[in-house]
Amino acid sequence: MEPTILDEITWRIDRSQLMQQLGIKEGESYAQKAEEMAAQAEEAGRPKAIYKAGLIEARGEDHVVIEGLTFKSRVLAVNLEKVHRVFPFVATCGAELEEWSSRFTSVLDKFWADTIKGMALGASILALLEQIEAEHHPGNLSMMNPGSIESWSLSEQRALFSLLGTPEDSIGVQLMESCFMKPSMSTSGMWFPTEHHFENCMLCPMENCPGRRAPYDKDLYDREYKKGEPH
């Protein structure tokens, strides 16, 4: 199946959410400047995403093979034990917002711009999820991201990008030699149908993480993934 590209995502910045994230109260002098930056970003921003439906062709204790490409991860392999179709993706705030944000030089302005870019990325992820649900009706979905947990290395980005063809050409996301992405406010991973919701955070012990979506479960790996682990 050919990848689906979303490059005309409609988005608008929720002003109250933005002010809350920036720590600005109604009527403060900073509010007007934040409004101006939000309006500029909405005008310039073009969040984008790419995904495809990929079939699992083979599997082992610590890997799965999707359309000829091997993804090595014990946690991924266990999570996909009963799954036959996955949805690999890359989503981004867009090169346009990256360029817009590069004009800011102060620490405060850069923080505000990054917050706005994060909201644009959120819009692209939401649009992507809505597209997958409308086109494929997969039921409940969970997501894994290369590099988010020890069991799935960031270097797996290379196979993920290969699976999707050329995200740099289609949505402007470049995979660097380090396997980080440019624009930096981009994300990649796989959505997969599941009866039991999974979050990378459940296996991540990092404290005070601002992006945490679920509590760390220190016993989860031993309970669900260690049994049958290759030696």
Per-residue pLDDT of 87-110, as tens digits, reads 999 999 999 999 999 999 999 999
Residue 16 or residue 1, greater confidence: 16
CB of 136 closer than 8 Å to CB of 202: no
Output the pLDDT for position 212.
Answer: 77
Average pLDDT, the chain: 92
Entry pTM? 0.91
Q: Hey, which residues does 59 pair with through a beta bridge? A: 64
Per-residue confidence at 201, pLDDT binned at 50, 70, 90? confident
Domains and CATH numbers, the chain: 4-225 (3.40.109.40)
State pLDDT tens for residues 142-165: 999 999 888 899 999 999 999 999
Calculated CA dihedral for residues 135, 164, 193, 1, nearest 10 degrees:
50
Examine the pLDDT at 231 and tell me if it is beyond 60. no
The residue behind tokens 């069991």 is: 151
Output the pLDDT for position 228.
Answer: 63
Q: At what angle do helices 107-136 and 15-22 cross, to 10 degrees?
A: 130
State pLDDT tens for residues 169-184: 999 999 999 999 999 9
Mean pLDDT within 99-127: 96
Distance between CA atoms of 52 and 164, rounded to whole angstroms? 7
Output the pLDDT for position 27.
Answer: 79
Distance between CA atoms of 204 and 188, rounded to whole angstroms? 18
Examine the pLDDT at 1 and tell me if it is beyond 90. no
State pLDDT tens for residues 25-70: 877 889 999 999 999 999 999 999 999 999 999 999 999 999 999 9
77-90 b/e with 16+ CB inside 10 Å = b? bbbbeebeebbbbb
